[in-house]
Amino acid sequence: MSKAIQAGWLKIQKEGGEPKVVRAVDSIVDTVQKNLKALSKDVTVNVDLATVNEYKKRKLMQQVTVTSYKISKGNHFTTTIEKPETDLTLELISSGDWKVKKFKTYNFNALGTPVACGHLHPLLKVRSEFRQIFLEMGFSEMPTNRFIESSFWNFDALFQPQQHPARDAHDTFFLTRPANCSTIEPTYMEKVKKVHSVGDYGSQGYGYNWKIEEAQKNVMRTHTTAVSARMLYAAGEQKPFKPVKLFSIDRVFRNETLDATHLAEFHQVEGVVADRNITLGHLLGTIKQFFSRLGIEKIRFKPAYNPYTEPSMEIFAYHPGLKRWVEVGNSGMFRPEMLLPMDIPSDVHVIAWGLSLERPTMIRYGIDNIRDLVGPKVDLQMVYNNPLCRLDKHSN
């Protein structure tokens, strides 16, 4: 009815009481009926598209699409069904059928079968690389297979005073078993005691009462420099003095606050050169050569403080990815107060530098949380996927 009213054929009268529908015109021309009749005879008749779409919308017309194909025989036409072969087989070869069979197309967009193989741990691959670099530079490996060390070798022999904060229970793991070390060579110990307490070898010393009980306390070593100290002591005992180039990469233990980048145990890398007339310039040069093997060319040195080296320097490298300078290591010349009690000749200078193994590995492989790299919570899939360790190749 709305269409009729719209077309003007009917109108509604609302005067007086009930609404009435009345004829508005005397005769009508039903265009819709006329068009539909014409279209049903011949669909190509000239009715405009808008009207046709309206009829479709009103469900007066329905569009049916009929697709037709023209088929003809192709080159490989056959009346028998054949499944394509997936691969060459020995049967196909022996029967000769390989010449006539159809072969399925390979999907080169998928990966191959993962190789069933073993894997080395990413951090330890980096360790092997560092070992290799040191060996190539002529450095010999120190025997560091000793996690429990006496405070004497870990601190006192290095001229680190007994009241130094690092010797606090907050920073260092002490042992209840074995609690103390049993023997310290007495003559050497007296020299160490003297240089700490009242000074010697041109030093003022620290001016405190050095106690043997403190030196005897065992610790989980806080640095591999304790081993370097033992090695330098042995070098001092050798007469005449022979120059040495030494390195070590091994675990150290710190009782510090743990967070995403710090664990209680990590690997320290250390290099040492002891020779006559070694200069600070030699330390800079050696460090530059070492880091260039890691693919790091831009480095700077900042004055720093270590209890056992003077001068001391922190090593900074430019990280092209992060676009800033980051600290990559620590270094210095060992103090005379440490070397002279070891009977090392006074014209022998000892340079050393160190860094952690975990930090460059995490930066190189984009690992944010150290627990994803070290310890039982490592993701083995990451270990499986880890590439060859090529430190001088930068990741993109």
Partner 1 sequence: MPSVPIKRDVLFDKLGQKMTDEEFDILCFQFGIELDEIFVDENDPKSIVQYKIDIPANRYDLLCIEGLSRALLVFLQKIEAPVYTAISPPTPIQTVVKSSTNGVRPYVVTAVLRNVTLDQVAYDSLIELQEKLHHNICRKRSLVAIGVHDLDTLTPPFVYSAEPQTEICFKPLNQDKEFRVDELMVFYQSSHHLKHYLHITKDEPLHPVIRDLKGVVVSIPPIINGDHSKVTMDTKNIFIECTATDLTKANIVLDILVTMIGEHAKVKFEAEATTVLYEETQEVKVYPSLAYRKESIDVKSVNELIGIDITAEEMAKGLSRMTLNSKVQNENTLEVEIPPTRHDVIHTCDIIEDVAIAYGYDNIEMNLPKTSCAAEQFPLNKLTDQLRESLAQAGFTEGLTFSLCSVDDECEKIRHPRADKEPTLARISNPKTLEFQAARNSLLPGILKTIQANKKMPLPLKLFEISDVVLLDSTQDTGARNERRLCAVNYNKTPGFEVIHGLLDRVMQNLEVPFHPTQGYSLRAAQDPTYFEGRCAEIVYGGKAFGKLGVLHPEVLENFELNLLGAALEISIENFL
Region 42-101 residues binding partner 1, contact defined as CB under 8 A? none
- Contacting range for partner 1; rule: CB under 8 A; set: 63-71, 79-87, 99-107, 137-145: 137-145
Query: For partner 1, which residue of 19, 118, 186, 240 counts as binding (CB under 8 A)?
Result: 118
Instruction: Report the alpha-carbon distance of residue 167 to residue 222 in Å, rounded.
Output: 9
Any idea what the Cα angle at residue 153 is, between residues 343 and 234, rounded to 5°?
A: 40
Which one, 33 or 180, has the nearer CB to partner 1?
A: 180
Q: Is 279 in the site for partner 1 (CB under 8 A)?
A: yes
Q: Is 119 in the site for partner 1 (CB under 8 A)?
A: yes
Q: Is 389 in the site for partner 1 (CB under 8 A)?
A: no
Structure tokens given for 377 = 């919570």
Instruction: Report the alpha-carbon distance of residue 13 to residue 236 in Å, rounded.
Output: 125
Q: Is 255 in the site for partner 1 (CB under 8 A)?
A: yes
8 Å CB contact between 229 and 338? yes
Which one, 92 or 304, has the nearer CB to partner 1?
A: 304
Query: For partner 1, which residue of 7, 85, 101, 311 counts as binding (CB under 8 A)?
Result: 311
Query: For partner 1, which residue of 163, 240, 323, 388 counts as binding (CB under 8 A)?
Result: 163
Q: Is 265 in the site for partner 1 (CB under 8 A)?
A: yes
Cα distances (angstroms) measured from residue 104 to each of 78, 86, 107: 18, 5, 9
Distance separating the N- and C-terminal Cα atoms of the chain: 73
Instruction: Report the alpha-carbon distance of residue 109 to residue 223 in Å, rounded.
Output: 51
The residue type found at 355 is L
- Contacting range for partner 1; rule: CB under 8 A; set: 59-67, 79-87, 148-156, 388-396: 148-156
Angle between helices 280-293 and 122-136 (to 10 degrees): 130
Residues of this chain, 289-308, that bind partner 1 according to CB under 8 A: 289, 300-305, 307
Rounded least distance, CB 118 to partner 1, Å: 4
Q: Is 331 in the site for partner 1 (CB under 8 A)?
A: no
Residues of this chain, 2-21, that bind partner 1 according to CB under 8 A: none
Question: Which three-class secondary structure state does DSSP give residue 242?
Answer: coil
Query: For partner 1, which residue of 78, 277, 322, 368 counts as binding (CB under 8 A)?
Result: 277
Instruction: Report the alpha-carbon distance of residue 68 to residue 240 in Å, rounded.
Output: 103
- Contacting range for partner 1; rule: CB under 8 A; set: 31-39, 71-79, 98-106, 126-134: 126-134
Other Cβ atoms within 10 Å of 178 Cβ, number: 10
Please work out the total of residues on this chain that contact partner 1, with binding judged by CB under 8 A.
102
Rounded least distance, CB 255 to partner 1, Å: 7
Instruction: Report the alpha-carbon distance of residue 294 to residue 269 in Å, rounded.
Output: 13
Rounded least distance, CB 220 to partner 1, Å: 7
Q: Is 40 in the site for partner 1 (CB under 8 A)?
A: no
Rounded least distance, CB 73 to partner 1, Å: 50
Which one, 142 or 158, has the nearer CB to partner 1?
A: 142
Residues of this chain, 341-370, that bind partner 1 according to CB under 8 A: 349, 351
Q: Is 310 in the site for partner 1 (CB under 8 A)?
A: yes
Residues of this chain, 171-190, that bind partner 1 according to CB under 8 A: 173-184
Please name which of 218, 250, 210, 16 lies closest in space to residue 124, comparing C-alpha atoms.
Answer: 250
Query: For partner 1, which residue of 126, 130, 139, 269 counts as binding (CB under 8 A)?
Result: 139
Structure tokens given for 333 = 């010349």
Other Cβ atoms within 10 Å of 31 Cβ, number: 11
Residues of this chain, 185-224, that bind partner 1 according to CB under 8 A: 199, 201-208, 218, 220
Calculate the CA 179 to chain-centre distance: 38
8 Å CB contact between 237 and 209? no
Calculate the CA 221 to chain-centre distance: 27
Which one, 35 or 160, has the nearer CB to partner 1?
A: 160
DSSP code of residue 217 = B
Q: Is 155 in the site for partner 1 (CB under 8 A)?
A: no
